[in-house]
Amino acid sequence: MSNNQELTKLEFLLTLEGNIICQRYFNVRDFNPQATRSMDLHEYVKNICKKISDDLWAKSSNYLCENKEYILGLENVEDSTNNQE
C-alpha cells in the first residue's frame, strides 16, 4: 500500500436489546465520509436486517412445527392439572 492512501478504521456493531451480537473492525482505504449518508448504504443495511429477520422467523417457525407435539403435550398437562385443582 502506498503512503498517500489514507486508511480509516470502521466498526460494524450488531446489537440486540443492548447485547452485542457481532462486532467487527474493518480497515477502509480512501474512505469517503459522505458515503455514510448514502441511500445505497441505507438500502443495503435495510435488506440485511430484513434477511436476518426473515431467517430468524423461519427458524423459529420450523422449531415450533418440529416440536408441536411436545409443546401441545405441555399445554394439555397444564390444563389437566388446573382442572384437578
27 shares a domain with 44: no
Number of domains into which the chain is organized? 2
Task: Give the span between the Cα atoms of 44 and 23, in whole angstroms.
Answer: 18
pLDDT in tens, 37-46: 888 888 988 9
Residues 21, 58 share a domain:
no
Does one domain contain both 45 and 85? yes
Q: Are residues 44 and 84 in the same domain?
A: yes
Locus of grid cell 486508511: 7
Q: Please give the residue range of the domain that contains residue 7.
A: 1-31
pLDDT in tens, 13-62: 988 899 999 999 999 888 888 887 888 888 988 999 899 999 999 999 99
Same domain, 51 and 22: no
The amino acid at residue 22 is: C
52 plus 26 within the same structural domain: no
Answer yes or no: do 20 and 45 share one domain: no
